[in-house]
Amino acid sequence: MVRALQSLEFQVRDDWRKEARDRGLAPAPIRVRLTPSAVTVDDRREQSTGQPDVPGVSWLRTFNRLNPFDKGATGSRGQRDLHSLAAPIIDARTGGTVTIDEIGEEWRRDCRKRFVILGAPGSGKTSVLVNLLCDILSEPDRTAGDPVPVLVTVTGWDPNTPFPDWLEARLKQDYPHLAQRSHQERGRRNDPSLAAVLIATGKIIPLLDGLDEIADQDRQSRVIAELNKAAYDVPLALTCRTTEYRVAVNRGEFTHDAKEYELQPLDVRQAAAYLRGGERTPASADVAAGRWESVISELGRGGPLAEALSTPLMVYLARTAYEGTHARPSELIELPTRKAIEQRLAAAYLPAVYQRTTRHRQLHGRRLDDAMAAMQFFARHLRDQGTTDLAWWELHRAIHPARLKIIQNLWFVLIGGLMCGLVYVFWGEPVTGFAGVLAGIYTGVLAAALVFRGTSRTVETPRSFQFSQRGLIVALTLGLAFGLAVGFAVGPATGIIVGSVVGLGFGATGSLRTRSDLRNSTVGPRRTLRSDQIGVLIPDWLLIGILSGLAGGHALGFAVSFAFGFPGGFAYRLRGRFGTASGTLMHVSLWLRLTGSLPWGVRILPALEDAKRRHVLRQVGAVYQFRHLTIQEHLAQQPDHP
């Protein structure tokens, strides 16, 4: 358990320190300010109880409801009263204004450690969580065994799933080594996972990002209600856009026992310092030319430009869009509205990133168009699935199951036909006699696989090899038993050969039993794909291909046996891959190209890795996420890229 927690802390620290650097939070962030939320205690008490707060009366009402001698305070009603009053009373302990680099110290001083971070789109809510996470892990008095902060997005959470169960599933996905069983009691097979034990023992501090990214407002309210029910005393932090959180508050839902902070807009001085390069960030050649001076002068006059460049995200997009280009930042002054300015900056972001001269190659012309089209497809896919987690093994959901089945069966018929043709290439003449019977059986097996296996709607998670001593023993026993049966039927010599070869073959493939590759603590998207391709292809091909050639060589001759064995093993394994993650990705990629959803020049995993290197995406465990939700939303709304 201790090793699992230490491994988790190491990976969390490593992942989010890199993210902090990529976001410009290290060595020091833009000092955005957080003030106590404008949703006051009195407003929330009136909204939740239907009664205004009367001075001198609220404390008496509280005492009466919590009085152990009062029958009304017992039972489920009393518990609800306790929960409904706890937040207004405790939330009165509001602090003053803090900056993003002081939020960690504020967390350490707070006894309950429950924060809600509110703000406008692009105001830096996720950056506050990243900074808070790094501060918690950098506490000078931190010791082994202290709780570990984990940042997760709540977008895909169905609040019908209890919070501990959902958090366990997310931990097992993002930090797969926590999916292993805890083995609390020797001999038990149903021990909880390491993730479940860490949650139950209070060793996880959930930092929950993106409540506002849940499209359904009713679901947002139910998420808050579930947090209040299942995690009312758990240290946590939650981010949400201010408008969406106010809607939840007006419906009577707010996070109990939580201090609420609201991110404030950047002032002109902060925006100007960042656009010029600032003392905290590397200066660019643009500063010397004074290209930003007209924009900075306009900021001091207020208006649409000052409103647009009042968030960290927009000043970042502005500097990224114009850095190292011949475009004039002053063109932003000519745009009439804040929305027009924000759309202009969002549209200019990806071309600037892909055309920038860095250690990554520049993309121009058709390659740039292909990259833009790929990012638009991924953004739309995430929008349609209602999530921010881009998992390559989930891309099959972008295609209707019936269409996926069509492309899989056509692919199988094509490759299977070619493999069968190899039999006649090796044999050199029509196959008759026993070889003809074997060819008929082989063709029948493939046809049966085509008809009866169909296409599963459920695609497995990525797999990889795992040695199994028990599987080795069982497989060897079955193989030797098969050899004895053959010996009784056709003679001891053939039985010994077939039994030995098939026994060894079953033993080899049985010992190489595959398992989910999401259990590895250092798993990444490329590794999961490579492991799945190897883990599902080699064992059955070895068994069906090589062994059928060796076992049949005694009776048919090695040439014809290998001719049947290799194509048969390959074609049958190809069919078996249709329900696997990597096999499905191959067919999904083909279909998306045929239908124009993805350009032919785009390979899915390399495109995602390239976007991660350019900081368009970030990697969290085995999945990708857009680094900025505003960019994802912008791309999802755009028409098809030409």
313 confidence band (pLDDT: 50, 70, 90): very high
Contacts of 541 (CB under 8 A, 6+ apart): 569, 570, 573
User: CA torsion angle for 322, 323, 327, 330 (degrees, to 10)?
Assistant: 60
Query: When comparing pLDDT for 41 and 477, which is higher?
Result: 477
Q: Could you read off the pLDDT of 176-226 as tens digits, one per residue?
A: 788 887 765 544 567 788 999 999 999 999 999 999 988 788 999 999 999
Which stretch of 387-401, 446-460, 592-606, 613-627 has the lowest confidence by average pLDDT?
A: 446-460
pLDDT of residue 66: 39
The answer to whether the bond into 27 is cis (omega within 30° of 0) is yes
Could you state, in order of their start, the residue ranges of all structural domains in the chain? 2-35+98-263, 268-357
Which stretch of 371-380, 436-445, 587-596 has the lowest confidence by average pLDDT?
A: 436-445
Q: Give the DSSP per-residue string, 66-79.
A: H-TT-GGGSHHHHH
Span 68-75, mean pLDDT?
39
pLDDT greater than 50 at residue 402 = yes
Least Cα distance to 589 among 392, 410, 381, 402 occurs for: 392
pLDDT greater than 90 at residue 572 = no
> Could you say which architecture CATH assigns to the domain 2-35+98-263?
3-Layer(aba) Sandwich (3.40)
288 HSE (CA, 13 A, CB side): 5
Q: Could you read off the pLDDT of 226-284 as tens digits, one per residue?
A: 999 988 889 999 999 999 999 888 888 888 888 999 999 999 999 988 888 743 445 55
For the ranges 79-93, 117-131, 434-448, the one whose mean pLDDT is highest: 117-131
What 3-state class would DSSP assign to 610? helix
Q: What is the pTM of this model?
A: 0.71
Which stretch of 29-38, 46-55, 107-116, 386-395 has the lowest confidence by average pLDDT?
A: 46-55
Token pair belonging to 461: 């998670």
Radius of gyration of the chain (CA): 30
- In angstroms, rounded to a whole number, what is the distance separating the alpha carbons of residues 551 and 500? 9
pLDDT of residue 636: 93
Q: Could you read off the pLDDT of 446-487 as tens digits, one per residue?
A: 554 544 444 444 555 665 555 556 655 665 666 666 656 655
For the ranges 279-283, 341-345, 367-371, 572-576, the one whose mean pLDDT is highest: 341-345
- In angstroms, rounded to a whole number, what is the distance separating the alpha carbons of residues 460 and 519? 14
Span 152-165, mean pLDDT?
90
- In angstroms, rounded to a whole number, what is the distance separating the alpha carbons of residues 341 and 318? 10
pLDDT of residue 145: 87
pLDDT of residue 632: 94
Span 321-344, mean pLDDT?
89
Which parts of 153-267 fold into alpha helices (H)?
Answer: 163-174, 194-200, 217-230, 242-250
- In angstroms, rounded to a whole number, what is the distance separating the alpha carbons of residues 581 and 583? 6
pLDDT greater than 70 at residue 419 = no
